[in-house]
Chains A and B, each alone.
Chain A
């Protein structure tokens, strides 16, 4: 992690934001998922990060509106991703044969329903469709719907992948890499060196370029040098469906 070079300033503040900001994205380094500290504020304690065990049998269920336990989340993922209604040739962001998991949340629909419903949102990079798997944990059933052109926020996993696609494109990333070097010194070689936000990009009347993102899954990113400023990322998006960098205006 990167810390503010100016430790004397901290004493003047009611509390300290270490690193001058927040590093929000998960980083996958060498295939291992490292979750950086989200906020450096003092006094708050996060739990340790635990790998969630695979759960294929219905665990003890919480009340319908409770947040998900680890076991519930894992069981919902199991039901959603093994649903036979999903396309057989479904692929994830790296092209491998598995659905891309975007989010897992207790549903906000029908709040007085007694059964425990979970929305598992998946993306299929083969068909470029978003699948919303409404999982009934109580009944162990899945009711799915899907649509092209619906682009939920990218998962941290996808942002990480998009960053790698971007960095691997020497031409497209030249400007950002040069700016990083001038601000922070050294070479930009990993997402772990930055605070990163990633958003779903859909073109609208105000954008020039990126029309392919009407259908493709595209990500726009903001980079912040911890302890420094933001880098200019306004001129490109990453098309994850094609694993290419697209210039936009």
Chain B
């Protein structure tokens, strides 16, 4: 590898002179998404790590807290990228287990206007209160009068979380002699409170410096005074003895998230499921594979391993991976008594008149709920997804839930997956770690540096630095090998291709398992002959990680082992090179840029080596 890089560096240096490079950016430089609000209606926040959010907020008379044009800017990026077109609570469906009541708190009452609550400063102790208008229009004897006022009703609060990450370089016997990378994370939340009959609901949305968004519904106030006549299976006794059984009930909060990932016209929904497969060397393999949700659909998890993401296939991060957001459910209970709350997620294509999950109030739509939305569009390709997210909670009332009821929260998050090539919080000292580093990490540099194995000497070009002797299978066998040995036809292994190996010192006739470390990957098994010697051909799995690794052979009976250092490369050398996130015109120019990049890195490294010398 090092030889290749050196050659590349020279070629790159030659190419630098007079090269006219045509770099046509794609998603990296798309126009910033619009944000059509001003003043207090615009929330913009930049965190210490450089991540920034912007969005417009309002309080709708029915939908309550409504967020629109939600855009995020990752550290180091020039402009914002759209995440969500809009997000709001599209229904709060509250059926009682006694079968006597079903409430639709969004579409029958609404979370805004007269049911929006004025917040005191004591309810927003570390945040800032923002004013919201309420209006009353009355008509009597043909005369219509409107009155307005504003109340402090939105609390915007900075939040923090310890242990956003931690990575400690630690030597045996010492706790403080190497760098510690640890940080708390930052966020902010927007919250309102709405009072609908007995309950008071907090609607809260939190944004973090790692690009995540959490949607929370908190319920407090009072348990329903009208529903104290349950029995021991449909309720729970509160108050003295067994006289008053408060009815158990549901808070089925169905959020509507209109995705607009990176402003892309083409978005897709994928469902991932995991299952155990064939036997591996130690345990069974587990395979996780996607299924594209091609059409509008109502979805429930197969089991607790199922997850989903919305992905923008044409928006690639610097690693060439499609940007996406995945759903994270800490637990959502799904009410089976009504078809509309059986799905955990419903995906539809954006349709302007589908504004509420159930009892849709937009008269332009004949369909009234998510089941009907899906049924009438089931033959469409799903490319402009709106997610209807059922964050359900079954409330079995406790004595402690009496007035005022302790707030119970129900939440879910969306989290970036491959939005950026590394975490938005990656410290400089870890910035060089992207994929398999394939060498020593110098975290004392800022940004850090990966230093690969020293290259073979090249007399013609490198007179000064004399490398250490080329790598030997030097490390002693870890498993108490009594002189077991391993030799390879070549220490440079290629994914999916076969290689020869031989060895000795194993027990006569025993099976010898060959694995690639450090994450053990089974390569195969050979049988030792009558004198404990080994010879054969194995194929390196196509999934083997690139870079420097150790190949280890272990006798199944004797436990003797031997190791050899190897370097794994891709099937074709170019295949492993990173996509830089732009479209580059002309194949030869592409090669030239890659040469330039690699060459520049190598020059930096040489300079550093010279300093150290």
Residues in A with CB closer than 8 Å to B613 are: none
Name which residue of chain B comes closest to A103, CB basis: B61
Other-chain residue from B109, B131, B355, B361 in contact with A199 (beta carbon distance below 8 A): B109
Expressed in whole angstroms, the minimum distance between the Cβ of B251 and any Cβ of chain A is 16
Contact across chains for B148 and A49 when beta carbons are under 8 A apart: yes
Other-chain residue from B129, B138, B151 in contact with A33 (beta carbon distance below 8 A): B138
Task: For the complex, give the distance between the alpha carbons of A152 and B58 in Å.
Answer: 19
Task: For the complex, give the distance between the alpha carbons of A115 and B198 in Å.
Answer: 39
Q: Is A150 in contact with chain B by the CB < 8 A criterion?
A: yes
Residues in A with CB closer than 8 Å to B113 are: 103, 156
Q: Is B414 in contact with chain A by the CB < 8 A criterion?
A: no
Bitwise interface map of A from 22 to 33 toward B, beta carbon under 8 Å scored 1, else 0: 101110100101
Task: For the complex, give the distance between the alpha carbons of A104 and B148 in Å.
Answer: 12
Q: Is B516 in contact with chain A by the CB < 8 A criterion?
A: no
CB within 8 Å for A108 and B355 given contacts A41-B119, A44-B121, A65-B41: yes
Chain A contact residues: over half helix, strand or loop, or mixed? loop
Bitwise interface map of A from 211 to 231 toward B, beta carbon under 8 Å scored 1, else 0: 000000000001000000110
Bitwise interface map of A from 52 to 87 toward B, beta carbon under 8 Å scored 1, else 0: 100000000011111110100110010001000000
Contact across chains for A26 and B139 when beta carbons are under 8 A apart: no
Task: For the complex, give the distance between the alpha carbons of A75 and B470 in Å.
Answer: 82
Q: Is A112 in contact with chain B by the CB < 8 A criterion?
A: yes
Q: Is A6 in contact with chain B by the CB < 8 A criterion?
A: no
Name which residue of chain A comes closest to B121, CB basis: A43
Expressed in whole angstroms, the minimum distance between the Cβ of B191 and any Cβ of chain A is 14
Q: Is B167 in contact with chain A by the CB < 8 A criterion?
A: no
Contact across chains for B137 and A101 when beta carbons are under 8 A apart: yes
Bitwise interface map of B from 117 to 142 toward A, beta carbon under 8 Å scored 1, else 0: 11111110000010111111111111
Name which residue of chain A comes closest to B117, CB basis: A39
Q: Is B100 in contact with chain A by the CB < 8 A criterion?
A: yes
Contact across chains for A46 and B149 when beta carbons are under 8 A apart: yes
Residues in B with CB closer than 8 Å to A100 are: 139
Residues in B with CB closer than 8 Å to A48 are: 149
Chain A residues numbered 161-202 whose CB sits less than 8 Å from any CB in chain B:
197-202
Contact across chains for B144 and A46 when beta carbons are under 8 A apart: no
Residues in A with CB closer than 8 Å to B225 are: 229-230, 232
Chain B residues numbered 65-82 whose CB sits less than 8 Å from any CB in chain A:
66, 68-69
Task: For the complex, give the distance between the alpha carbons of A67 and B543 in Å.
Answer: 54
Residues in A with CB closer than 8 Å to B132 are: 67
Other-chain residue from B36, B122, B142 in contact with A41 (beta carbon distance below 8 A): B122
Bitwise interface map of B from 99 to 127 toward A, beta carbon under 8 Å scored 1, else 0: 11111110111101111111111110000
Q: Is B428 in contact with chain A by the CB < 8 A criterion?
A: no
CB within 8 Å for A68 and B61 given contacts A24-B195, A46-B149: no
Task: For the complex, give the distance between the alpha carbons of A117 and B194 in Å.
Answer: 25
Contact across chains for A52 and B135 when beta carbons are under 8 A apart: yes
Contact across chains for B66 and A104 when beta carbons are under 8 A apart: no
Q: Is B487 in contact with chain A by the CB < 8 A criterion?
A: no
Bitwise interface map of B from 136 to 167 toward A, beta carbon under 8 Å scored 1, else 0: 11111111111111111000000000000000
Expressed in whole angstroms, the minimum distance between the Cβ of B540 and any Cβ of chain A is 50
Residues in A with CB closer than 8 Å to B361 are: 121, 130, 132, 150, 152
Expressed in whole angstroms, the minimum distance between the Cβ of B254 and any Cβ of chain A is 15
Expressed in whole angstroms, the minimum distance between the Cβ of B290 and any Cβ of chain A is 29
Q: Is B330 in contact with chain A by the CB < 8 A criterion?
A: no
Contact across chains for B196 and A114 when beta carbons are under 8 A apart: no
Contact across chains for B146 and A63 when beta carbons are under 8 A apart: no
CB within 8 Å for A46 and B108 given contacts A52-B135, A100-B139: no
Task: For the complex, give the distance between the alpha carbons of A15 and B144 in Å.
Answer: 38
Task: For the complex, give the distance between the alpha carbons of A181 and B259 in Å.
Answer: 53
Other-chain residue from B35, B58, B85, B196 in contact with A67 (beta carbon distance below 8 A): B58
Contact across chains for A108 and B63 when beta carbons are under 8 A apart: yes
Expressed in whole angstroms, the minimum distance between the Cβ of B150 and any Cβ of chain A is 4
CB within 8 Å for A111 and B115 given contacts A44-B152, A153-B62, A230-B226: no
Q: Is A98 in contact with chain B by the CB < 8 A criterion?
A: yes
Residues in B with CB closer than 8 Å to A35 are: 136, 147, 149
Contact across chains for B363 and A206 when beta carbons are under 8 A apart: no
Q: Is A96 in contact with chain B by the CB < 8 A criterion?
A: yes
**25 A-B contacts, Cβ less than 8 Å apart?**
A15-B120, A25-B114, A31-B140, A39-B120, A50-B147, A62-B38, A64-B36, A65-B37, A66-B56, A73-B148, A94-B140, A96-B142, A98-B144, A99-B139, A101-B146, A103-B62, A103-B110, A104-B135, A145-B353, A155-B136, A156-B114, A199-B108, A200-B108, A202-B108, A234-B101
Q: Is B39 in contact with chain A by the CB < 8 A criterion?
A: yes
Contact across chains for A47 and B135 when beta carbons are under 8 A apart: no
Q: Is B30 in contact with chain A by the CB < 8 A criterion?
A: no
Q: Report the 3 A-B pairs with minimum CB-CB distance, sorted nearest first.
A: A41-B120, A147-B363, A15-B122
Residues in A with CB closer than 8 Å to B134 are: 38
Task: For the complex, give the distance between the alpha carbons of A28 and B68 in Å.
Answer: 35
Other-chain residue from A67, A112, A153 in contact with B109 (beta carbon distance below 8 A): A153
Chain B residues numbered 306-365 whose CB sits less than 8 Å from any CB in chain A:
352-353, 355, 359-364
Expressed in whole angstroms, the minimum distance between the Cβ of B425 and any Cβ of chain A is 29
Residues in B with CB closer than 8 Å to A45 are: 152
Residues in B with CB closer than 8 Å to A73 are: 135, 146, 148
Contact across chains for B123 and A15 when beta carbons are under 8 A apart: yes
Contact across chains for A51 and B147 when beta carbons are under 8 A apart: yes
Q: Is A92 in contact with chain B by the CB < 8 A criterion?
A: yes
Task: For the complex, give the distance between the alpha carbons of A31 and B82 in Å.
Answer: 49
Residues in A with CB closer than 8 Å to B112 are: 105
Name which residue of chain B comes closest to A92, CB basis: B139
Known A46-B149, A51-B145, A197-B196; 12 more pairs at CB < 8 Å? A24-B115, A26-B136, A28-B140, A38-B118, A39-B119, A52-B148, A67-B58, A93-B139, A111-B86, A146-B363, A147-B363, A198-B109
Other-chain residue from A28, A31, A145, A229 in contact with B363 (beta carbon distance below 8 A): A145
Residues in A with CB closer than 8 Å to B60 are: 105-106, 108
Other-chain residue from B56, B99, B146 in contact with A51 (beta carbon distance below 8 A): B146
Expressed in whole angstroms, the minimum distance between the Cβ of B166 and any Cβ of chain A is 35
Residues in B with CB closer than 8 Å to A94 are: 139-141
Chain B residues numbered 177-197 whose CB sits less than 8 Å from any CB in chain A:
195-197
Q: Is B239 in contact with chain A by the CB < 8 A criterion?
A: no
Expressed in whole angstroms, the minimum distance between the Cβ of A215 and any Cβ of chain B is 14
Task: For the complex, give the distance between the alpha carbons of A151 and B131 in Å.
Answer: 29
Name which residue of chain B comes closest to A51, CB basis: B147
Q: Is B88 in contact with chain A by the CB < 8 A criterion?
A: yes
Task: For the complex, give the distance between the alpha carbons of A46 and B347 in Å.
Answer: 40
Residues in B with CB closer than 8 Å to A44 are: 118-121, 129, 151-152
Contact across chains for A157 and B109 when beta carbons are under 8 A apart: no
Contact across chains for B131 and A197 when beta carbons are under 8 A apart: no
Other-chain residue from A98, A110, A152 in contact with B139 (beta carbon distance below 8 A): A98
Residues in A with CB closer than 8 Å to B195 are: 22, 24, 197
Name which residue of chain A comes closest to B123, CB basis: A41
Task: For the complex, give the distance between the alpha carbons of A24 and B142 in Å.
Answer: 25
Task: For the complex, give the distance between the alpha carbons of A22 and B117 in Å.
Answer: 8
Q: Is B536 in contact with chain A by the CB < 8 A criterion?
A: no
Contact across chains for B107 and A200 when beta carbons are under 8 A apart: yes
